[in-house]
Structure 1
Amino acid sequence: MGEFRYEKDADGIVTITMDMDGPVNAMNAEFDGLYQEMTDKLCAETGLTGVVLTSAKPTFFAGGDLKWLIGVEPGQEQEIYDNVERTKANKRRLERLGVPVVAAINGAAAGGGFEICLACHHRIAADVPAVKIGLPEVTLGLLPGGGGVVRLTYMLGIEDAMPFVLEGRMVPAQAALKAGLIHELVDSIAALVPRAKDHIKSVQGDAAAHTQPWDDRAYRIPGGPSNSASAAPRMAAGSAMLFKKTRGLLPAPGKIMDIMANTASNVDFDSAQRYESRQFASLVPLPVTKNMIQAFFFDLNKVNGGAARPKDVPKSKVTKLGILGAGMMGQGIAYSAAMAAIEVVLKDTSLEAAERGKGYTKRLLDKRIAKGRMDQAAADAVLARITPTDQAQSLQGCDLIIEAVFERLDVKEAVLAEHEALLGDAGFWGSNTSTLPIGRLAQGAARPEKFIGLHFFSPVDKMPLLEIVVGEKTDDETLARAFDFARQIGKTAIVVNDSTGFYTSRTIGTKMDEAAQMVAEGLDPVRVENLGRAVGFPTGMLSLYDEVKLSLAVDIFDTQVGMGLRSTDGDATPEARALLREMVQAGRKGRGAGGGFFDYPEDGKAFWPGLAKWREDRVNIPDQDIKDRMLFRAVLETLRCLDEGVLRSVPDANIGSIMGIGAPTWTGGYAQFVETYGRARFVARCEELAAKYGARFLPPESLRQAA
């Protein structure tokens, strides 16, 4: 059984070393008993002069038991509340023990783990890379319910606490000290407990050393109460910004703001704690909470942990990377690779174009320097890793060559023929195509087994996803090396099988086409755009069409028809296609070409007046239908990709949809959405939509059977 080791020394200091079952300490059923037993024993101790709380694990404490939380159902709120209040009661006993209690933080203290530290009077961390400190609960649809919101508001004040409780910011040791999350640092893990004991000895007899700020009658919350003349405007502005960001679809941030406002007003500390517990308990059973826990903890861990990576291939690293094409995608890949200490050869048709591509990295580095996130020497070292060139021979011996040229079969075939032989003996080829089948592109390869799709997302320096596309002849070693490269440059990699558009491109196109289809049917484009945002898409679908270019969508469709990859008869939204063609012919090619659905004057953007041609006042459908038409199209395409074997796993579907193509966060990803919506209910809604708007909304037979 796990234990909290209890050791009392000759000076009366008790050291508690948390060593629970499993690889990490976690706030589960075992913890409740161990924490209760520890507190009881400390309260009964005689001759006690202080307490040091530390960990035997590489991670100080990993937080709550998410496996249990994700299984909580509506009706269990009181059980959750009682559990949280029981733990909080023991934290209060520890705070009021009458001797200094010191947290000695040797590794990551996340969520519930940091809340344990907040209930200590003094916090010391080792200044080592393993230490990360913060309250990430909001990123999982939860709130810090073990006292984190209330205690941090008391400690830092509303404004300074917001990044940690509302954004879930996790910070390294130095940043934690600067922010006031901890009191001091030591150079090594070995120095933690000795320093903690020295602190206890140095404050003997000082009542302030074992009194929390919230238990000091003279203490005032930094920045004042939430209803003060100085704080109230900030609270109002913060609430407005929060709604703009979440659109009311994520309940946790709003509840956190509510707790902070109550804490920093006339409510006493213990009442604020109970209110926090109630709000936490109300969140746990919600579908959005389950969706976010599933996606951002379980699914993301599986994807990043290499569930799709062949297990029998040794780990590898790319040391020299060749990139063909120094445009928007190529320059972004070059920056990401150079930041990961990879030597990059960036080739374009002219040296001037290649140097412009390198200039993109310089501009990004200059911004980092201006923000204090990098010094000049480090930036110079990154920039020196990129060699611009117009000479093919410069790529000789690359471990990996990525082509990021125009999305045209003839162009991609030409660069493959010219450069493939320059790869090192164990090198492999990556195509940054978003739609063209890898098997077709690999037909001209001398070694098709070393050919793989590496579909990046724009802008590469900001977008976290990489879609790895496995061709029919791609071998396991190439897949494993591609996955290792993705992790090397800090990308989350989903692995999909070859098909037209793969997963992300074919799925993102469905919701964009559906929005265009509704405009073609006569609906008000303002309504379509705004209701798309109301679903939780990062941007409206018509704005997204402008960003990716209407002309590109038309070209891709025509290219696929020309290659025999699709037929015009199989177009699910022919009216949308006709609308796009007419707009492109009228010069409305997209934002980069001067305008598409929108005009872009200097002071913002406005819908193109020419869209009035399609507007028909008699056409009117319910708001929910408009929202569901866009959302369900993408969900149904995801289910088809799973059925067809394009997607290899549900976690890849969920993470790929959120990180790559704008699935609303609250859904937990397009596959997960079906689970909490309810399979039978989803099938019924699909049939309603199909009856009204067409067979493209019919659910797949596999889902009917599962429902």
Structure 2
Amino acid sequence: MPKVLSYTINDGVAVVTVDTPNSKVNTLSIDNADEFKEVLNILKNNDDVKATVLISGKPDCFFAGADINMLESCKTAEEIQHLSRICKGTFNEIAESKKPIVAAIMGQCLGAGLETALACHYRIAVRDKKTVLAVPEVMIGLLPGAGGTQRLLRLLSLPDAFDMMLTGKNIRPDKAKTIGLVHMLIDPKGASDSKESKEATRKHLEQVAIETAKGLVDGSIQALPRRKGWVETITEYIMWFNLGRYFFMTQARNRVMNMTQGHYPAPLRILDVVEETLKSGYERGNQLETRYFGELGVTKESKALIGLFHGQTHCKKNHYGSPSPIKKVGILGTNSIGAGIAEITIFKGYPLSLYDKSKENLEQGLIYIKNNLKQRVLRKQISDNEKDKLVSKLETGTELESISNVDFVIEASTENFDKKCKLLLEIESIVKPSCVIAVQTLFNPIEKVAKSAKRLDKIIGMHYFSPLAKSQLLEIVSSKSATKETIATAVDLGLKQGKIVIVVGDGPCFYTTRILCILVDELVSILREGIKPKQLEDMTKKIGWPMGLCSVVDEFGIDNIYEASKVLCSHYDENLLSKNLIILEQLVKKGMLGKKIGLGLFEYDPTRKLSIDNPAAIKIIDDNKISPKESLTTQNIQWRLVSRIINEAVLCLEEGTLKSPLDGDIGAVFGLGFPPFLGGPFRYLDIHGAEQLVKRMENFRKVYGDAFKPCKLLIEHSKDSKKLFRS
């Protein structure tokens, strides 16, 4: 293995630089844990070394955490526990060093990387956008397994330690200083994100860390503990008593169960470790941390979540070659999607032309964009000055010629097929020949929309999800005519907008909208059988959907689902969806379009946050009521919904709409909220087997008909347990 550590000694301070060769990030593995020990021993026995600075050679990454592949290679809990003990041994040597060790943090400091920094005696972080600190292990079904639970409990208040461990969320430098995670912050050198500025900041950080290390040696600087407030002091006192611990931990467990419905073992194990630490001390808590780290590492939930992690990593890269340069972007349409796309594009620094033929709509779009940017200022993502600079890059126009000089244009003004076709031809006649033309659509087949266009190779589909600022997924639709360069350019823009990008084939409703329509078809059947929307909402949350499925329908738009279902009906000879279309049609005719107007399956208050069952929607459903053929238990409903969406996902792969099972998993989880602990339709089948699902579907088929007919590819996998969708 190539060395990842190097060191220099100057004026009594050793500067140890972590720099994994041929990688954008540093990760912790068994090999470099041993290398750490070796270097620490050398410095420990060198009388010329009085202190050590630990810094990364990569400006954007201190440590990205443990090597996930190393964890996946372990076959048993005992193997994973062995890894935990090795890392703990190394970190304990850092913590017990008689010579002070300073962690100089710039860029990502995650998981085992933060655990490395926590073992150091002093932590300095750069106050910039790229520097974040977190223990995200819970997001892959684990807990911090190298002493992190114990060191966080010692260092932070109990609520702050819980917040970090149970959510895995990123902590920005200012907050890290406030809660006591780091001792000192430094500002970056230069305002730009250039390579030169980053290197200047890294060198400045190194120098500050060296001076700090010297101060720790001579006593002029001390790593003082965080000052505790009176509330924290009283809380700690209460924790000494069994009754106080019981009350606090019961409240914490109730909150975790309410959030996870018990589908995720890791948060509950984190609570077990914390409770044992509070009751019996750090030594016992440390032992339990190692034990549970190993046990969690072999659970099906962790395997599913690690599969999603790999999928996210894959979908955050451009696999389609070199993109065309984009100097300016054009957006047509100022509805919530158009204005939303404009805002995330401007936020990433692209000059932009925003077009709408209506001056009033254009003004409303501008208000939306500026308000969203103001929210980013309040969240400290950008400064007021940066916000003003971004707004200055925005041009508007009510004439189509305003987009004539852009390199990439996104039409997001309408879902009406005829209007889309006409507008696309107008755009093509105005923009330069090299411009990529993207059609924002939920269901219209791209080749049909572009059938009269002259430059089919430059036309592509882009499906953004609502709410746009929060949704992580972008589904790019590639027609047969689109070149690799066109696809690469669209992917490049999506990635720079901060999206997880999947690329799917053209066809009716593509992938995510298609499996949603199938899901909604079954959902409507269940509603017609007598389950009320709020009841079904609670049921689907309990079976693991982060957002209840009735809320998903209202968020997506009942009118959009209706139009998409009509398109999809033409794809099936039996018109399997047509029996429930009448419900969607009547809801649309009555103006119940979903959350965007405050009325769908639910009625929403003016803030759009609180909802109740919509009596008018329930009346339409009850007027078309059907008798349930089986008992409507939570389990029955769970498997009816899950089996149909998984089968349709596999059918999309069989027909070529999906390019890979990995894209299918990412699209289902991040586009529709498929329960993450199942890992996505294909990861679920690989972990749990296709045979049991096919048996369920065949039983449902006898009761409910051919809507539950398993597709050919699913049947093939059910007959051979060694066949995997994702290796």
Q: 1:20 to 1:475 in 2, by over 3 A?
A: closer
Deviates more, 1:509-518 or 1:382-391: 382-391
1:521-571 deviation line (CA, Å, top 9, x unaligned): 44555543322222222322233333334344333444566xxx436x523
Q: Which residue of 2 aligns with 1:284?
A: 297
Amino acid at match of 1:154: R
The reply on whether 1:259 has 2:273 as its aligned counterpart is yes
Q: 1:380 to 1:594 in 2, by over 3 A?
A: closer
Residue pair 1:2, 1:19 contacting (<8 A) in 2 also: no
Distance in 2, matches of 1:557 and 1:85, equals 54
CA shift, 1:209, in A, is: 5.8
User: After superposition, where does 1:444-463 map in structure 2 within 5 Å?
Assistant: 444-463=452-471
Q: Which residue of 1 aligns with 2:180?
A: 180
Residue pair 2:443, 2:567 contacting (<8 A) in 1 also: no
Distance in 2, matches of 1:18 and 1:589, equals 55
Q: Which residue of 2 aligns with 1:216?
A: none
1:20-51 deviation line (CA, Å, top 9, x unaligned): 66635433231343344445556666676333
CA shift, 1:133, in A, is: 2.8
Q: Which residue of 2 aligns with 1:95?
A: 95
Distance in 1, matches of 2:202 and 2:384, equals 31
Amino acid at match of 1:273: N
The reply on whether 1:511 has 2:522 as its aligned counterpart is no
Residue pair 1:523, 1:615 contacting (<8 A) in 2 also: no
Q: 1:7 to 1:638 in 2, by over 3 A?
A: closer
Q: 1:337 to 1:129 in 2, by over 3 A?
A: closer
Distance in 1, matches of 2:403 and 2:258, equals 47
The reply on whether 1:299 has 2:321 as its aligned counterpart is no
Q: What secondary structure is seen at the aligned counterpart in 2 of 1:532? A: helix
User: After superposition, where does 1:65-104 map in structure 2 within 5 Å?
Assistant: 65-73=67-75, 76-104=76-104
CA shift, 1:239, in A, is: 4.1
Distance in 1, matches of 2:85 and 2:561, equals 55
Distance in 2, matches of 1:502 and 1:573, equals 16
Q: Which residue of 2 aligns with 1:597?
A: 601
The reply on whether 1:361 has 2:369 as its aligned counterpart is yes
Q: Which residue of 2 aligns with 1:577?
A: 581
Amino acid at match of 1:33: D
Q: How many pairs align? A: 690
Q: 1:12 to 1:621 in 2, by over 3 A?
A: same
Q: CA RMSD in A?
A: 3.3
Q: Which residue of 1 aligns with 2:30?
A: 29
Q: What secondary structure is seen at the aligned counterpart in 2 of 1:170? A: coil
CA shift, 1:498, in A, is: 0.5
Amino acid at match of 1:640: L
Distance in 1, matches of 2:713 and 2:652, equals 12
Q: 1:473 to 1:546 in 2, by over 3 A?
A: same
Q: Which residue of 1 aligns with 2:676?
A: 665
Amino acid at match of 1:146: A
Q: 1:246 aligns with which of 260, 263, 266?
A: 260
Q: Which residue of 1 aligns with 2:198?
A: none
Distance in 1, matches of 2:27 and 2:568, equals 51
Q: 1:408 to 1:491 in 2, by over 3 A?
A: same
The reply on whether 1:705 has 2:719 as its aligned counterpart is no
The reply on whether 1:50 has 2:55 as its aligned counterpart is no
Amino acid at match of 1:28: S
Percent identical across equivalent pairs?
28
The reply on whether 1:376 has 2:384 as its aligned counterpart is yes
1:584-610 deviation line (CA, Å, top 9, x unaligned): 456655455564433446773125252
Q: What secondary structure is seen at the aligned counterpart in 2 of 1:689? A: helix
1:368-425 deviation line (CA, Å, top 9, x unaligned): 3344444333223333333333212222222122211221111112212333222123
Q: What secondary structure is seen at the aligned counterpart in 1 of 2:434? A: strand
Q: Which residue of 1 aligns with 2:193?
A: none
CA shift, 1:516, in A, is: 0.7
CA shift, 1:283, in A, is: 0.9
Q: What secondary structure is seen at the aligned counterpart in 2 of 1:426? A: coil
Deviates more, 1:26-35 or 1:185-194: 185-194
User: After superposition, where does 1:402-481 map in structure 2 within 5 Å?
Assistant: 402-481=410-489
Q: Which residue of 1 aligns with 2:164?
A: 164
Q: 1:18 to 1:580 in 2, by over 3 A?
A: closer
Distance in 2, matches of 1:465 and 1:5, equals 37
CA shift, 1:354, in A, is: 1.2
1:345-364 deviation line (CA, Å, top 9, x unaligned): 22223111111111111221
Distance in 2, matches of 1:669 and 1:646, equals 17
Distance in 1, matches of 2:409 and 2:209, equals 52
Residue pair 1:654, 1:668 contacting (<8 A) in 2 also: yes
The reply on whether 1:62 has 2:64 as its aligned counterpart is yes
Amino acid at match of 2:435: G
Residue pair 2:440, 2:461 contacting (<8 A) in 1 also: yes
Q: 1:691 to 1:39 in 2, by over 3 A?
A: farther
Q: 1:106 to 1:350 in 2, by over 3 A?
A: closer
Residue pair 1:300, 1:651 contacting (<8 A) in 2 also: no
Amino acid at match of 1:579: I
Amino acid at match of 1:323: I
Distance in 1, matches of 2:148 and 2:403, equals 53
Distance in 2, matches of 1:575 and 1:138, equals 43
User: After superposition, where does 1:640-679 map in structure 2 within 5 Å?
Assistant: 640-679=651-690
Where does the alignment leave 5 or more consecutive residues of structure 2 unmatched? 189-200, 227-231, 721-727
Residue pair 1:471, 1:498 contacting (<8 A) in 2 also: yes
Q: What secondary structure is seen at the aligned counterpart in 2 of 1:27? A: coil
1:128-155 deviation line (CA, Å, top 9, x unaligned): 6654432222222222111112211211
1:449-485 deviation line (CA, Å, top 9, x unaligned): 1111011111222212211111121122211211111
Distance in 2, matches of 1:441 and 1:390, equals 23
Distance in 2, matches of 1:552 and 1:522, equals 24
Q: Which residue of 1 aligns with 2:108?
A: 108
Q: What secondary structure is seen at the aligned counterpart in 1 of 2:501? A: strand
Amino acid at match of 1:49: K
Q: What secondary structure is seen at the aligned counterpart in 2 of 1:646? A: coil
Q: 1:471 to 1:546 in 2, by over 3 A?
A: same
1:148-169 deviation line (CA, Å, top 9, x unaligned): 1221121111222234322222
Give the TM-score normalised by the residue count of structure 1.
0.88
Q: What secondary structure is seen at the aligned counterpart in 2 of 1:490? A: coil
Amino acid at match of 1:281: G
Distance in 1, matches of 2:548 and 2:5, equals 55
CA shift, 1:688, in A, is: 3.3
Deviates more, 1:525-534 or 1:672-681: 525-534
CA shift, 1:114, in A, is: 1.5
Residue pair 2:511, 2:649 contacting (<8 A) in 1 also: yes
Q: Which residue of 1 aligns with 2:196?
A: none
Q: What secondary structure is seen at the aligned counterpart in 1 of 2:280? A: coil
Amino acid at match of 1:255: R
